[in-house]
Structure 1
Amino acid sequence: MKNLPIFDLAVIAAYLVAMVLVGVYFSRKNKNADQFTKASGLIPGWATGLSIYATFLSSNTFLGVPGKAFGGNWNSFVFSLSMPLAAYMASRFFVPFYRQTGEISAYTHLEHRFGPWARTYAVVCFLLTQLARMGSIFLGIALSLQALTGFSMQMIMVVMGVCIIIYTVLGGMEAVIWTEVVQAVVKTFGALLILYLIVQAMPGGVTSIVDIGATHDKFSLGTFSPDFTQSSFWVVLLYGFFINLNNFGMDQNYIQRYHTTASAKEASKSLWLCVWLYVPASLLFFVIGSCLFAYYQVHPEFIDAIKQKVALDRLPATASAAEVSRLVTSLQPADYGDKVMPHFMVTNVPPGLMGLIISAILSAAMSTISSGMNASATVFTEDIYKRYINPNPSPKKQLALLHLATVVVGVMGLAAGLAMIGVKSILDAWWTLSGIFAAGMLGLFLLGLISRRTTSHEALTATAIGVLVILWMTFSGSLPDDYGYLRNPLHSNMIIVVGTLTIFLIGILLTKLKNGRSTPSEQTAAMAK
């Protein structure tokens, strides 16, 4: 633990002040709901693409991905390899669909298709997903800055949360996008700088890193056997495809950005720009994790300090020295992977560069949280307040409501982050939670988009069954041994895959059964809906 030099603190402070000033600058133009939610559709496609890329490249990537590579291998990189296929489907079908509807909310059309219950269900799932995501990202900020400053994780989260809330409320979507353009550059440069410093500090350089990584199987993408009970290549590929399809097709964060450009063509270009930037960028973070593993293999004396810190964080303050020692001995690389990059920064990054790298980590977190706050506020206003409370608020009242909702969502995301303190892996926590909440939304959306004969009754029945399957897959692992045969045998990443397919396929089956019993005139009426 060490205090940051004044110059580094000044760099961090300047970065935070600059982000707030961006919000102040755009607050002059942020005079109505249209400007707050979609920047009046005047953002260039390249800027929107960088914004989407910045949203993907969160602090979960900055800390969680190197931690996963350190504790395991490159298996999770398969997630990124699934992005091009999901982007193709989104640009081919979803972007034109949303641009044609003209609805700023991603979930309004579900009510037109299946009724109010479908819209409400999707909204609840989305808001829960955003809270889980923001919480995991707040945790990522705190993990890195605690190691560098010595301040408590709670204090770090609160200070950062206040800064993010201020510029997001003041500037709206335009401030979110243009700050993310800056943040995309800052975080990418920061990652390259970290990689350079690790290679420079490594005896033997790149050759030694490759040799150590190959010896310990650090570059593996996972087993290619058709095994869905572990994190195999195919499990992560399926998980990544379904999650990315949900991101590009159902997540308000991305749907909202499709409306910030001048045309559907520009929106599609922005989506592809994100993909072509994110795939190599995510690989960069796996390389960083493998480099860190090689570095600490050469310097094992530093590992004890990291283990000691993890043990003290997990045990109560009253724990004895023997209890701490036992936990330290039992810890495996996967247990402390998230801690290694902050430790390397503390011990190896020279004064003057630390502030730049911390700013990059902050930018990785701030971009995702700010976009999530804006999107969640939009969903609350459009899908809850205007749907159930007041369908025609005045422009002034609607803008005030968006501001208030942004603050409330930011505070709730901060609270979720505080509740996550002590989780084993940031990336695992986020992947599990997102898989649970996203599965039902995607299945319902695909059912409505592909099967035009499916009515509200079949969709509701399929969704109810799908939710039960998701809950069973998620929580059956905690059943006692006497009921072990009832446990979900599949890997947790399969939750979104099985949940989505359950809703979609059961909906199709029920529709076929119903249409098989109905008359030709009833079938025509169902298709007309």
Structure 2
Amino acid sequence: MTHFSWLDYTIFGGYLAASVGVGLFSARGSKSLGDYFLAGRGMNSILVAMSILAALFSGISYLAGPADVYKNGFGFAYVILAFFIATPFTAMYMLPKFYQSRFFTAYQFLEERFSLSVRLLASGLFIFRVALWLAAATYAPALALEKVTGMPLWLTILASGVLTTLYTALGGMRAVIWTDVMQLIVLFGGQLVIVLVAVGKIPGGLGGVWDTAVADHRLDLSLSFSISERVNLWAVLLAGAFLHLVQMATDQVSVQRYLTAGSLREAQRSLWIKLWLILPVLILFYGTGLVLYAFYKTHGDPMTAGLIAKEDQILPYFVVTQLPAGLPGLLIAAIYAASMSTISAGLNSLASATFVDFKQRLSTQAEGTQAQQVGRARMITVIYGFIVIGLAFAVSLMPGNLVESVNTVIGLIGGPLLGLFFLGMFTQRATTRGALLGCLAGFISLLSLYLYQNGVLTAVKPPLLVSFIWFSLLGTLITMGVGLLTSGRSDTSSVRHQ
């Protein structure tokens, strides 16, 4: 297989250096925690929208989206439609709660509504989930680079982790947002180039892609109500909405960006802008899977030929074998940069949750000067950077492709977390006791189901009971149901913050 040329290496290195340079340039403005974690609460809605989109649209999305469509058809990609449910719900019903007290983290709301213990539990679950998510985001570009450049996996994981930790620790949220914007533009442009080149080599062009997709039933979506089916219409609409809500409404990565806006109205506006930005972006990225399917149906499937080991490598394989010298370097750098964008966003949010929810809230010592607090926040960021690097080496052991692995993790932990926020925001009966027991029940139930379905608890792997896409919804319902049933009347915390 063809590897990088010297021109590709030059462009790749130059783009990564530019990304780090933008991040380091932003370090000059981080003089307080408000600057470091929330960019001084002065970012406009367009930048916030682009940053939210870039933060959640990682190298995982860049690689796994087209790969999933290439292997399984467009079924999961219809989850795009669920954004029309999750976005207005978040903007109208959940976002105002975070702005009532000008929070630093999403989990401060849970302390006002319930108690400190619920806040710490929720923040801890977030930290655990996002650390795993960032590990996958670190592993994704390393997988791509290993295949197309011949660089060993361990080296590329270390490179992305260390570089991103460096500029995130120094630059804070301003570094994160500005690199997000730059990388989102390159991502979209790079994917467009891939599609145009591929379509030009397919008989019939776009018409040929469409005819192939229809003939091979790649656009079909089941109308079944079965929750064991991988995807169907009800899964992508209903379960998909809850999957989006986990990341849009309970995730510090997203909530922290809303709070960088100057007002609630600006934050709500950023969500609507993000909705209209994400539609063409996701249609292009998932549509690339259909284009690659049609291309390799004509030119021979590289997986069948043994040229690649996983479908997650199909996009970088096309880039390095079909594009002229120079473009592979830029596009693989775009994949790499997408993950760096996600990692930087996650590291900053992990640091903010740890510093604000744990260190500040639990410490009895004087906080020190603003400069000292920023210094401690930077140190926490560095620690998380190395934790994520370590976890990235374990991601390859998870069953399923990247789409299934990542969304399973989101559901396992994010579903119970969303249930906590729903109990706090939309019920008056729920108490601290009910919230804690409900969340615990939700997490244990989903984890047990996951282990059972993957044969960990049985001698023989059983048939699938619940598809990965339903985990968020199921976790939310279990948490709320158990939470309401176990809430005692003696707990008065339920009326603290209505």
Scaled to the shorter chain, the TM-score interval is over 0.9
Q: Which residue of 2 aligns with 1:491?
A: 467
Does residue 387 (structure 1) correspond to residue 365 (structure 2)? The answer is: no
In 2 relative to 1, CA 256–205 (structure 1 residues): closer, same or farther, beyond 3 Å?
Answer: same
Deviation of the 1:277 alpha carbon:
1.2
Superposed counterparts of 1:69-468, under 5 Å: 69-220=69-220, 222-231=221-230, 232-300=232-300, 302-305=302-305, 307-310=306-309, 336-390=310-364, 392-394=366-368, 395-421=370-396, 423=398, 424-468=400-444
* Distance (Å, rounded) in 1 between the aligned partners of 2:3 and 2:250: 44
Write the letter of the residue equivalent to 1:404: M
Residue 475 (structure 1) aligned to one of 451, 455, 458: 451
Q: Which residue of 2 aligns with 1:64?
A: 64
* Distance (Å, rounded) in 1 between the aligned partners of 2:240 and 2:226: 16
* Distance (Å, rounded) in 2 between the aligned partners of 1:128 and 1:197: 40
In 2 relative to 1, CA 199–29 (structure 1 residues): closer, same or farther, beyond 3 Å?
Answer: same
* Distance (Å, rounded) in 1 between the aligned partners of 2:300 and 2:322: 15
Deviation of the 1:473 alpha carbon:
2.0
Write the letter of the residue equivalent to 1:203: P
* Distance (Å, rounded) in 2 between the aligned partners of 1:73 and 1:502: 31
Q: Is the partner of 1:28 in helix, strand or coil?
A: helix
Q: Would you say the 8 A contact 2:431–2:492 is kept in 1? A: no
Task: Pick the structure with greater CA Rg.
Answer: 1
Residue deviations 1:245-302 (CA, integer Å, cap 9, x gap): 1222110011111111111111111111111111221121121111111111112264
| TM-score, normalised with respect to structure 2 | 0.93
Q: Would you say the 8 A contact 2:113–2:493 is kept in 1? A: no
Moved more, 188-197 or 461-470: 461-470
Residue deviations 1:406-441 (CA, integer Å, cap 9, x gap): 111111112221111255411111011111010111
Write the letter of the residue equivalent to 2:126: F
Deviation of the 1:351 alpha carbon:
0.8
Residue deviations 1:19-65 (CA, integer Å, cap 9, x gap): 22222222111122110000111111111111111112211111101
Q: Would you say the 8 A contact 2:191–2:285 is kept in 1? A: yes
* Distance (Å, rounded) in 1 between the aligned partners of 2:112 and 2:318: 53
Superposed counterparts of 1:43-62, under 5 Å: 43-62=43-62
* Distance (Å, rounded) in 2 between the aligned partners of 1:362 and 1:390: 41
* Distance (Å, rounded) in 2 between the aligned partners of 1:286 and 1:264: 32
Q: Would you say the 8 A contact 1:50–1:180 is kept in 2? A: yes
Write the letter of the residue equivalent to 2:317: H
Q: Is the partner of 2:29 in helix, strand or coil?
A: coil
Write the letter of the residue equivalent to 2:244: N
* Distance (Å, rounded) in 2 between the aligned partners of 1:4 and 1:501: 49
* Distance (Å, rounded) in 2 between the aligned partners of 1:408 and 1:273: 34
Structure with the higher helix share, 1 or 2: 1
| Residue ranges of structure 1 left out of the alignment (5+ in a row) | 311-335, 516-521
Write the letter of the residue equivalent to 2:228: T
In 2 relative to 1, CA 292–301 (structure 1 residues): closer, same or farther, beyond 3 Å?
Answer: closer
CA RMSD of aligned residues (A): 2.2
Residue deviations 1:96-152 (CA, integer Å, cap 9, x gap): 211122110111221222222211211121011111211111111012112221011
Q: Would you say the 8 A contact 2:52–2:274 is kept in 1? A: yes
Q: Would you say the 8 A contact 1:129–1:433 is kept in 2? A: yes
Q: Would you say the 8 A contact 2:112–2:496 is kept in 1? A: no
* Distance (Å, rounded) in 2 between the aligned partners of 1:117 and 1:2: 55
Write the letter of the residue equivalent to 1:489: L
Deviation of the 1:3 alpha carbon:
3.7
Deviation of the 1:528 alpha carbon:
6.0
* Distance (Å, rounded) in 2 between the aligned partners of 1:70 and 1:350: 23
Q: % of aligned pairs identical? A: 28
In 2 relative to 1, CA 266–528 (structure 1 residues): closer, same or farther, beyond 3 Å?
Answer: closer
Q: Is the partner of 2:428 in helix, strand or coil?
A: coil
* Distance (Å, rounded) in 1 between the aligned partners of 2:484 and 2:258: 29
In 2 relative to 1, CA 392–96 (structure 1 residues): closer, same or farther, beyond 3 Å?
Answer: farther
Q: Which residue of 2 aligns with 1:504?
A: 480
Deviation of the 1:391 alpha carbon:
6.0
Deviation of the 1:527 alpha carbon:
4.2
Write the letter of the residue equivalent to 1:28: R
| TM-score, normalised with respect to structure 1 | 0.88
Write the letter of the residue equivalent to 2:392: G
* Distance (Å, rounded) in 2 between the aligned partners of 1:136 and 1:261: 29
* Distance (Å, rounded) in 2 between the aligned partners of 1:502 and 1:172: 37
Write the letter of the residue equivalent to 2:338: A
* Distance (Å, rounded) in 2 between the aligned partners of 1:158 and 1:482: 37
